[in-house]
Structure 1
Amino acid sequence: MSSGSLPSQGLQRGVKICGLTEEAGFDACMEYGADWVGFVFFERSPRNITPQQANRLSARHAGGAQRVGLFVHPEDDTLARVLDVVSLDVLQIYASDDRAASIRHRFGLPVWLSKPVASADELPTVCAVDRLLIEPKPPTTATRPGGNAQKLDWSVLHGWKPTFPWMLAGGLSPDNVEQAVKETGAPAVDVSSGVEIQPGIKNPDAIKRFIHNARAPLFHIN
């Protein structure tokens, strides 16, 4: 689907497995029904891959999970070079609201924007793109954005009632994702290091358990 939305309506929680670099992890995402798979195009990430590598992985399965490309403050030329090689369904961006909206207009693809938060008063009230990712702010010593395997304090989401699509990220794992969605009501969840053997190398069994546990406490998505 080109909208970057959930592939079905009703009782369904979206699951994204990010940072795919190798065949076993990618194949497990497809086998166990992930909604999105994420390719990281950011050189400082241990999960960084080239557009050619992403294209080879993507070509292993026609259809299935939507392909998401993750970019950190990308230039238009960078995005264009990647899209010339690998077909992506969604662009996940670390940038300002205005820049994310500009990318959406320029490339005509759904854009998801990261919104790191540390407290309830930092939760967004509007969304200028197709989806927001709510995750913890990185530590001051971090060399890259994102959850950095840190768990968000889920209590900051209590009482937050967004009217736009969003996704919970940061410190999720097969062991805590069920509790996370029960506490936050997240309509979608995103994991990377929580299903890995080592950075960039996924554990197929952990992927299976994460997807199953994320969807265990089903609820109706409006």
Structure 2
Amino acid sequence: MIVKVCGMRDAVNIREVERAGADWMGFICYERSPRFIDRVPEYLPQKVVRVGVFVNAAPEVCLRQAEALALHAVQLHGTESPDCCDRLRKSGLKVVKAFAIHRAEELQITEPYAGVCDYFLFDTPCLQYGGSGRSFDWSVLEHYRGSTPFLLSGGIRPESMEALKAFRHPRWEGIDLNSGFESAPGMKDAQTLARFIAEFKKTTSINPLNTSTL
């Protein structure tokens, strides 16, 4: 199971979260986010997949940031088209497309993106782009029948462990953690993260689901 920790900015905190056991680390390249990364950190993680998070950015902008941050993947939170995803994927980047899902019938929006994205990310609907820090009814994902694997997001915090233990889906391949583990925007509680990641990975190894790496 993949554990992605998103919204990283501070070099010391990046090192701490890397040691805490994150598999992927997200850097938000969207200026309106309180976790916007406005410069390359003094330290970039060496043992994780580096993911740039964008909202309706032109592919050229994504590619420039990918070079600056030595990204392995991009995560797209806006209304990016399947053609945009395909172009970025053909550049050699892995592509994660985020969808805010409230009802089962909204899952059909993912269909045009099959085959041009490596992963989907399912999150809570909100007025702004990006995560809201609120959870959503994961049971709607029982109706997802696509072949693209997905990450589960939406207000995951330490108290979410029991719900994660109960969740099952053949295409579920990881979780995305952010504000539920913060002491301030962009600053993660590394000790709490380490405990949570260790328990999550222990649970998913006992009850194996799909596992994937880039």
Report matched runs for 1:1-222 at 5 Å.
13-53=1-41, 56-58=42-44, 61=45, 63-94=46-77, 95-105=80-90, 107-123=91-107, 124-125=110-111, 127=114, 128-138=116-126, 142=127, 144-185=128-169, 186-218=172-204, 219-221=208-210
TM-score by length of 1: 0.81
Q: Deviations over 1:88-120 (max 9, x none)?
A: 011111223232222223x32111111111111
Question: Which stretches in structure 1 are left out of the alignment for 5+ residues?
Answer: 1-12
SS at match of 1:74: coil
TM-score by length of 2: 0.84
Report the AA paired with residue 46 of structure 1: P
Taking the aligned partners of 2:105 and 2:87, their CA distance within structure 1 comes to 26
Question: Which stretches in structure 2 are left out of the alignment for 5+ residues?
Answer: none
User: Over aligned residues, Cα RMSD in angstroms?
Assistant: 2.0
**Could you tell me whether the CA contact under 8 Å between 2:181 and 2:193 is conserved in 1?**
yes
Taking the aligned partners of 1:41 and 1:133, their CA distance within structure 2 comes to 17
Deviation at 1:200, TM superposition (A): 1.2
Taking the aligned partners of 2:39 and 2:69, their CA distance within structure 1 comes to 6
**Could you tell me whether the CA contact under 8 Å between 2:20 and 2:190 is conserved in 1?**
no
Taking the aligned partners of 1:121 and 1:133, their CA distance within structure 2 comes to 16
SS at match of 2:37: coil
Residues 178 and 209 of structure 1, relative CA distance in 2, 3 Å threshold: farther
**Could you tell me whether the CA contact under 8 Å between 1:51 and 1:86 is conserved in 2?**
no
Deviation at 1:137, TM superposition (A): 1.2
Runs of 4+ in structure 1 deviating by more than 3 angstroms, as ranges, are 159-162
Taking the aligned partners of 2:199 and 2:81, their CA distance within structure 1 comes to 33
Show the counterpart of 1:7.
Answer: none
Residues 157 and 113 of structure 1, relative CA distance in 2, 3 Å threshold: same
**Could you tell me whether the CA contact under 8 Å between 2:72 and 2:94 is conserved in 1?**
yes
Identity %: 29
Taking the aligned partners of 1:170 and 1:178, their CA distance within structure 2 comes to 15
